[in-house]
Amino acid sequence: MTRSASTLDRPTLDGPVDPDTLRVSDVVHAADSPDAAWWRQAVIYQIYPRSWSDSDGDGIGDLPGITSRLTYLRDLGVDAVWLSPFYTSPQADAGYDVADYRDVDPLFGTLADADALLETAHGLGIRVIVDLVPNHSSDEHVWFQAALAAAPGSAERDLYMFRDGTGEHGELPPNNWQSVFGGPAWTRTTDADGTPGQWYLHLFDRKQPDFNWENPRVRSEFESVLRFWLDRGVDGFRVDVAHGLIKEQGLPDARERTTMLGDTQSTEGDGTTDGDTADDGVDHRVHTPYWDQDGVHEVYRVWRQVLESYGTPDRILCAEAWVEPQERAVAYVRPDEMHQAFNFDFLTAPWIAHDLRSVIESSLRAADSVGAPSTWVLSNHDVVRHASRLGFEPGHRRQNGIAAGDPQPDRALGLRRARAATTLMLALPGGAYVYQGEELGLPDSTDMPDEFRQDPTFARTAGAETGRDGCRVPLPWVAGAPSNGFGPSDRTWLPQPDVYREYAVDTQVGVEGSTLELYRTLLAGRRDLALGTGSLAFVEGYGSDVVALVNGGREQVLVVANLGAEPVRLPEGAEVLVSSAPLVDDLVPTDTTVWARWA
């Protein structure tokens, strides 16, 4: 029997904690089979190739740089890596604008370098997932160039979303859709004779034209791209903007614009924004005519078959789909579709015990309803790192980047909470994603001078939205070395803040209590205790500022995350395995998560 959702919504009572009265709830999530497929419990580390490791000193990370440091990830204890795009690209959106899906951009290396990376990773027991960007290509893709050169109504144009404009002379866009990065989602073309022509759709930058997924050639092309990389040995794909491929018939006007974080803003008025996000409790996204259309699922069913034709071990698909509510989001991970989807509800949950508990329970229940594992994620290349995000009090406006003139996060508080949040996350059953640098406790760059900013959002909103550069800064490996050891020169494509040297890998390896050692301990413990395939029940009796649960993996592990000001006591006989911060007088202090063996 399981607890009802209504019980969940009621916060537990405040009051002094008497560990003797603790009570374990009914099981919320049953344990997975001990021999479950690897991806149902994997910890996948996201590498943002531009910023992980630079082998040639040009200031931009590359594939040989990644290969040379893969032993670091073996020692960290991750199961797989996901590489953000390294394909041929003019880099208008840091590689999410692909000009050739079957080649490596010279910035990052060659196909031979990709093969070497795969071979080395596999030799170390690390699986490799690559990014697939099917919603749009670069405008420099040969197909789009051919489409521009061809006439309206041609087969070439039908591979993308070309439409005539509205207004007397077609001078107005076909509808009111706004780009996720700001500004209109349509750009007008110029015909060969210099006269203004049709418009094309780009949900992101104007250099990222959307494909027409109703066209069978687009579908077969992507099946072929999947096979190209599967034949080279990749273990799966992270699918970019998985909820965007199909647009509603007739392209009706939208009621709102979706920003990078999945928030919405009204499109009334001139369509410009002030950077504020809608927070009216209304689920706007369900009816957005370019997101989460039912037709996308057909695409993923076919892809699943392509992957399954490669046999076992499973090759996987992971959806980047900012979809609400959770019942719709889990449709992407039905048994014949993708394997995983990012859990953005967990990522966006505020540092409030009731909210965290609620999202943990609803995520597990939603995933269980389709037989998929839940996933957990706190940071990625599109959001403010959690060590910075949690340095603000809950309720602080969710930001797309932090600029020097903005209120600054409390760095120490953010790190303390980030460590506690990760210690909670890595105790949860399912898959987990770790974004490069979070294992160092790295904060965002929050004082980057504007002239360095490269995220198209910054320019397209005239600076109203700071954008994502702050979470994409090259990693510090060796404190005080040129580029803090990112590469052999002092060049970095985005400037490293001075404080980054304090977080460098070499200052943390083997140092007790360092964030890197905490992650290593957590990942090793998670594996040894089989937490990824464990069951989950909540522990009742702590105050409303505590998330307490039991993961029944290989044995019973009690997890206590104390978000309140008052320290809390562990039950008699609980043996502490790991703690995100030192215990004080045997008590779990504020903003600390503990794992304990509990018979």
Sign of CA dihedral 40, 41, 42, 48: positive
Catalytic residue ranges:
240, 320
Nearer to ligand GLC, 409 or 456 (CB): 456
Nearer to ligand GLC, 79 or 240 (CB): 240
Q: Compute the distance between CA of residue 409 and CA of residue 386 in angstroms, rounded to an integer.
A: 11
Q: Is 361 in the site for ligand GLC (CB under 6 A)?
A: no
C-alpha distances in angstroms, 339 versus 179, 236, 350, 371, 378? 29, 10, 27, 10, 19
Nearer to ligand GLC, 96 or 108 (CB): 96
Q: How many residues bind ligand GLC (CB under 6 A)?
A: 9
Nearer to ligand GLC, 229 or 598 (CB): 229
Nearer to ligand GLC, 79 or 455 (CB): 455
The binder of ligand GLC chosen from 45, 48, 96, 213 (CB under 6 A): 96
Report the residue number whose CB is nearest to ligand GLC: 96
- What is the nearest approach in angstroms of ligand GLC to the Cβ of residue 76? 23
- What is the nearest approach in angstroms of ligand GLC to the Cβ of residue 143? 17
- What is the nearest approach in angstroms of ligand GLC to the Cβ of residue 203? 8
Contacts of 405 (CB under 8 A, 6+ apart): none
Nearer to ligand GLC, 93 or 235 (CB): 93
Mutual orientation of helices 296-308 and 216-232 as an angle, nearest 10°?
A: 30
Task: Provide the CA 383 distance to its chain's centre, in angstroms.
Answer: 8
Q: Compute the distance between CA of residue 459 and CA of residue 55 in angstroms, rounded to an integer.
A: 30
Q: Compute the distance between CA of residue 262 and CA of residue 346 in angstroms, rounded to an integer.
A: 13
* First vs last C-alpha separation in the chain: 22
At 11 the three-state DSSP class reads coil
* Three-state helix/strand/coil letters over 229-281: HHHHCCCEEEECCCCCCCCCCCCCCCCEEECCCCCEEECCCCCCCCCCCCCCC
Nearer to ligand GLC, 185 or 360 (CB): 185
Q: Is 204 in the site for ligand GLC (CB under 6 A)?
A: yes
- What is the nearest approach in angstroms of ligand GLC to the Cβ of residue 168? 34
Q: Is 494 in the site for ligand GLC (CB under 6 A)?
A: no
Contacts of 123 (CB under 8 A, 6+ apart): none
Amino acid type, 550:
V
Q: How are beta strands 375-377 and 431-435 bridged, if at all?
A: parallel
User: Pattern of binders to ligand GLC over 132-151, x per CB under 6 A?
Assistant: -x------------------
- What is the nearest approach in angstroms of ligand GLC to the Cβ of residue 283? 20
- What is the nearest approach in angstroms of ligand GLC to the Cβ of residue 9? 31
Secondary structure element (H or E) that encloses residue 575, with its range: strand 575-579
Q: Is 113 in the site for ligand GLC (CB under 6 A)?
A: no
* Three-state helix/strand/coil letters over 367-433: HHHCCCCCEEECCCCCCCCHHHHCCCCCCCCCCCCCCCCCCCCCHHHHHHHHHHHHHHHCCCCCEEE
The first and second tokens of residue 266, run together, are 């009204």
Q: Is 240 in the site for ligand GLC (CB under 6 A)?
A: yes
Name the residue among 260, 319, 276, 274 with its Cα closest to residue 468: 260
- What is the nearest approach in angstroms of ligand GLC to the Cβ of residue 267? 19
- What is the nearest approach in angstroms of ligand GLC to the Cβ of residue 424? 24
Q: Is 93 in the site for ligand GLC (CB under 6 A)?
A: yes
State which of positions 252-271 bind ligand GLC (CB under 6 A).
Answer: none
Q: Is 382 in the site for ligand GLC (CB under 6 A)?
A: yes
Q: Is 241 in the site for ligand GLC (CB under 6 A)?
A: yes
Nearer to ligand GLC, 204 or 486 (CB): 204
Contacts of 133 (CB under 8 A, 6+ apart): 85, 96, 97, 98, 101, 240, 241
Residues contributing to the site for ligand GLC (CB under 6 A): 93, 96, 133, 204, 240-241, 320, 381-382
